[in-house]
Structures are given as C-alpha cells and as structure tokens.
Chains A and B, each alone.
Chain A
Amino acid sequence: MTARTLFDKVWSAHEVVAETRDTPAVLYVDLHLVHEVTTPQAFSMLKAHGLPVRRPDRTLATMDHSTPTQSAQVFGSVPIKVDAAAKQVRQMEQNAAEFGIELFGMHDARRGIVHIIGPELGLTQPGMTIVCGDSHTSTHGAFGALAFGIGTTEVGHVFATQALLQRKPKSLAINIEGRLQPGVTAKDLILAIIGQIGVSGGTGHVLEYRGSAVRALSMHERMTVCNMSIEAGARAGMIAPDEVTFEYLRGKPRAPRAKDWEAAEARWRTFGSDPGAQFDASVDVHAEHVEPMITYGTNPGMVMPIGAAIPDKKGDEVFDKAMRYMGFHGGEGMLGKPVNVVFIGSCTNGRLEDLQAAARILKGRKVAPGVHLLIVPGSQQIKRQAEASGLADIFQAAGADWRESGCSMCLGMNGDTVSAGEYSVSTSNRNFEGRQGKGARTLLASPLTAAASAVKGSIADPRELL
C-alpha cells in the first residue's frame, strides 16, 4: 500500500462518496460545533425546508462571540449592553431548544470559546472531522483531526445531512526542527511561519506541522500553532497524535473510558503520516532561530522579530497604506513604542497555560499607568482554574481587568473594543484594520510579550522581565 499522509487517512476515512471530475466528495462530519453568530440563517434554512437537525448527538452549541464578559451582564443582574448581541443570544437559546441541540448557555459552567471547550471536554479527538462556522476551527487539528471553518450555508448542510460537499485540498508539510529558545512561545513560532510563507502561502492546502520541534510542544502550544493556520490561508492545520495527545485526553469528561479508551487509543495511533508519504509541497522552519515576534502592519504576515526594524518598503502601496493606518514608518524599531491596551485571551492564547505565562511576568509587578490590561479566559472552566490557582489574584494585584470568558476583544463584537487610533498589544489572531474596534491598531504577540508590554507601558521584549 502506498504511504499516506495523516490528512489522506482522515479524509479517506470520512469519504461517503468519492469526488469525481464533475462532483465533489461527500465528506462525513463527526463533530459540528456551533455558536450564536454564524448559525441563525442556517436554522432559518432548516425551518424553511421543514427539516430537523439530523444528528443532534454530533452537534454542540455554545455562545462566545457576541457575549458580554462583564460578570453582571453574564449573570443577569444587568442587561446585555449590546442589543443586537442580546437578540442573537436569545435566538441561539431558542434554536437550540427547538432543534434539540445541547447548548452551553450563558450561565453554564462549561461555556467558553468554541475552540477552547471542544478540547477541554475531550470531544475533539484524533482522526475526526470537525467543522464549525468559524475559521479558527483549525485549532482542533492539533489533535490530528481534520478541522476547518465553514460558511453559514454549509452549517445548514451539516445540520441537515451531517455531511459536506468538498473538494480535497492539497497537502503542505511544515517541517520544524530544533527547539524554541527560552522566552519564545508557540505564538512566536506560528507568527514566524506566517511571516515566512505569507498570508496566502497555505491557500488550497491542509498543513501538517511535523518535526522534532512539534513533538516537543504541549497540547496547548499545538493548539496555538494550528489555530493560526487560517492566517496563512490554509484550509486546516494538523499535527499527528502522540503520547502528548493521549495524555491530554485521558480522563477528559467526554473522552472514551476504560475498554473504549483502549480501542480508541489503538485506532488513534494509526493517524500519523507514513514514512515516505508524499506531500504536494513542503517548507522547512528552524525553531531555534525564532525570536519573540510582533506584527507591525495590518495582516498577520506583516510580522518581525520584536527587536528588529520594520522593513522599509516605501513605495509599495499596500505597505504604505498599512503604515498610514498603524502610524508607523519603515525602518523604525518597535521596542519602546507606547501602548494603550493589552488584551490577553482568545482561541489562540486564552488557555490556562497562556494565563500562567502572563502571570510569570505580572507576578509582583504593576500594569503601567494609563494602560488597560484586559485578561479574558477562554472558558468558564479556565476562569475557575485561574481563580483557584491564584492567577486571578496576581492579575488583579497587577491592576488587570479580569473577566468572564468569551471571544471579547479579539473581534470586539460584544462591546469590548479598542478605541480609534489606540495601540493594542493582543494575543489574538488578526491585526486587520478595525478588527478590535473601528480605527484600532493591533499588534499581535505572545502572552509573554503582551504581559511585558503591559508592565512597561510600551512594546517590550519579555526576555528582559523573565
């Protein structure tokens, strides 16, 4: 038998009908994750056709994008500030009830960002196909699942059939050798990769992150890497499951148990690329050369080592437009530039380990005067863990604003926004114009860099504070 990639194996295990020249494949979906923003129109489509959700048992809904992070608004003593968001939340509740879908509602202790809770529950498992109406669904690829974002029409297709029409993407191997240096995180690694291959370098491809540097990453680090695959334009990002994966999943509430676990683990072990498997393309990355990274422009590919100078591409229309928006100039350094807001959270960097990293810097220190440090845990479970382990005390003693979970300032749908012209060092995934609020200027970085910048009040290299 020919050697196959991890992606080939997961794809073919879910092919209900193979693709032909004239027709796409019918691909089976194991797990459909749902949130309030990209589903109302899909539920409307079901209603128009008089159809049920075919497999509610393979569907899980949460609310994260437009939900408030202020405790009083979440727990009901104060109404949700953004009216349209409140309406969307109510509609999600109604639709979930009407179609019999399990929903982690506003007060549910298991609620959180959709890409945080899947892994947290042990629902995300190797070899699965996982979809969600959200591009950061690529996060789940960290477990060796084929996980990708879909549009709302496709959300409706999955509701009604538990399958999707898909053309098989190509494969791109990202070979990462060596070890990350101290103070350099998985976030820096993925930003460096996007800088290397560009924001459309992965278009039409499923990435597989491979090599000794990837084996050495923890699950939360793998999730950070796979999460931003879409920022390189990729359809999905995957990492072969190994002992690290199994250890993470063991004992999770919805992971298989006892006998079922043994059978599952044995099957999961088959999901790795065979020796000699052919990829359509490959790229080599040297982990030991990666520095703490920061973006300087208006897409995640406009990124550089934190101590470097902004490349001078004056005359390039796109570059000039980005510099005007950001208020920067080619050739200047970033260290020491003042910041107004620091956001630590999101499906990229809102896990407990990210909060622990931030706490390493913030412990015994204060947020610089005039800087708003907003820390938003990725889920209610992470919030409780951070409070039980003293992290929240460290944050509050430092002067940070500690909130309920949600997507929050990553996209500012819920009213958590950065004001026009302000600079925000953010652990999220997109520095597009206006992403964190109209006119907001976003600088993407790791939780270490974000925390260090909050303390200094300006863009800072975290290695100075570790």
Chain B
Amino acid sequence: MQPLKRITSRTVVIASTDIDTDQIIPARFLTTTTKEGLGKQLFADWRYQEDGAPKREFALNRAEAGGAQILVAGRNFGCGSSREHAAWALLDYGFRAVISTEIADIFRGNALKNGFLPIVVDEATAQWLLQHPGAELDIDLEALRLTLPTGASIAFGIEPFARHCLLNGLDEFGYLRSKLPEIARFEAARS
C-alpha cells in the first residue's frame, strides 16, 4: 500500500443521514468476484435514471463534483451490510475520505483496511461542512487535524494502529501474520 499522509481536496456533500451500504453499492452489483470497477456503480440508484442517464440533481453528477476526493455525509454513514464493496466502490470512484458525525463500525473497519479515511467530527463542524459543499479541505493524518478554508483547524481521531499502518504504507495483514507464533501457542494451550 502507498503511504497516506495528507488529503487536500474539495468536498462533495450528500447530506442524508443513515446512508446504508445498500445505497453506496446496491446488492445486485455484489456478484462481482474482484474489487475493481465498482466506482461507476457507486450510489447507482441515487445517481442514474431508469435509462442509465445521470440524475442532474444528484451531488456526484454536478460539474463541481469532478475530482473531489472528500465526501461529507449525514450522521451514521455506512450502516447496514458488511459488504466491503462499499469501501471499494468509494475508492474506485476516487474518494479518499468521508466526514460525518458518526460512522458505522463495520464500514469504518473496512474503510481503514483499504486506505480510505473515515473521519468523525463534532456537530458544529459537520454542519459547517454540510452547508459548504465544494469547500477546499486539508486532512493531515500525521497531525490528526482537519483544516477548513476559514482557517479553523479541527482535531480528529483515527484508531492508532490503523493510522500507523496508513502513514507508513503498511498492511495490517503483515502485522497479524507476525503474531502467528502466539496464535499457535494459544491453540496449543487450549487443546
């Protein structure tokens, strides 16, 4: 994995609360056997009309959304199904981070394992972000600070081990495999 230290980008806002992983990637696309190419199906049912044409009013279809790497969403983003396809679809589309007041547990874990930052902020910051789509943000994973165009700098938290892995481009799997001797001893002690 590439080290991830900083994301500087404009935002796209999808203000709905409780955005579930069925919306992020509907189940009919889960028949894939790879991780690639899910970006075009991201938010498919909110993004496209029946005939496949983009719905003009949806945030991702506006011209100013092009190239944005940060998604700002309402409370409880990523709830529902454990499908990691949700994180893969967001990444494949080009997003690198989501900011919300609350992010569902399984999605958060899946996101971090793929180098996608789930960032939880306080209500006031979230409100500002929701009201300012397209704001240019700086996310500094090293300093754990989010800087708004107003100059305001907000601290955020990321699970320390995941942060360490992301900053150094390490895979959590390598660490887990290094614990195989302990795992074998645990098994031996139990049997």
Tally B residues with Cβ within 8 Å of A. Answer: 50
On whether A149 and B106 interact (CB within 8 A), knowing A434-B22, A438-B26, the answer reads yes
Q: A346 at interface (Cβ–Cβ under 8 A)?
A: no
On whether A413 and B28 interact (CB within 8 A), knowing A153-B113, A154-B113, the answer reads yes
Q: B150 at interface (Cβ–Cβ under 8 A)?
A: no
Q: How far is the CA of A299 from the CA of B76 in the complex (A)?
A: 12
Q: How far is the CA of A20 from the CA of B91 in the complex (A)?
A: 30
Question: Is the pair A203, B104 in contact by a Cβ cutoff of 8 Å?
Answer: yes
On whether A200 and B79 interact (CB within 8 A), knowing A24-B159, A157-B176, the answer reads yes
A-B contact pairs, 24 of them (CB 8 A): A21-B160, A23-B175, A26-B176, A38-B30, A41-B35, A41-B84, A65-B30, A87-B31, A133-B82, A135-B80, A149-B106, A150-B109, A151-B87, A151-B113, A154-B109, A160-B176, A160-B177, A161-B180, A233-B76, A299-B18, A412-B28, A430-B80, A432-B20, A438-B28
Q: How far is the CA of A173 from the CA of B34 in the complex (A)?
A: 40
Question: Is the pair A91, B110 in contact by a Cβ cutoff of 8 Å?
Answer: no
Q: A37-B30, A150-B109 are in contact. List 6 more A-B contacts (CB 8 A).
A: A85-B31, A134-B82, A150-B82, A151-B113, A299-B18, A318-B18
Q: How far is the CA of A347 from the CA of B83 in the complex (A)?
A: 17
Q: How far is the CA of A224 from the CA of B77 in the complex (A)?
A: 25
Q: A355 at interface (Cβ–Cβ under 8 A)?
A: no
Q: A272 at interface (Cβ–Cβ under 8 A)?
A: no
On whether A317 and B15 interact (CB within 8 A), knowing A23-B161, A162-B183, A233-B79, the answer reads yes
Query: Which residues B15-54 have CB closer than 8 A to chain A?
Result: 15-18, 20, 22-23, 26-28, 30-35, 45
Please give, as numbers and ranges, the residues of chain A lying within 8 Å of B34 by CB-CB distance.
40-41, 44
Please give, as numbers and ranges, the residues of chain B lying within 8 Å of A233 by CB-CB distance.
76, 79, 104-105
Q: How far is the CA of A163 from the CA of B30 in the complex (A)?
A: 25
Task: Give chain B nearest CB distance to A158 CB in angstroms.
Answer: 10
Chain A residues in contact with chain B, CB under 8 A?
Answer: 16-17, 21-24, 26, 28, 37-38, 40-41, 44, 65-66, 82, 84-85, 87-88, 91, 133-135, 149-154, 156-157, 160-165, 167, 169, 199-200, 203-204, 230, 233, 235, 299, 301, 317-318, 321, 411-413, 430, 432-435, 438-439
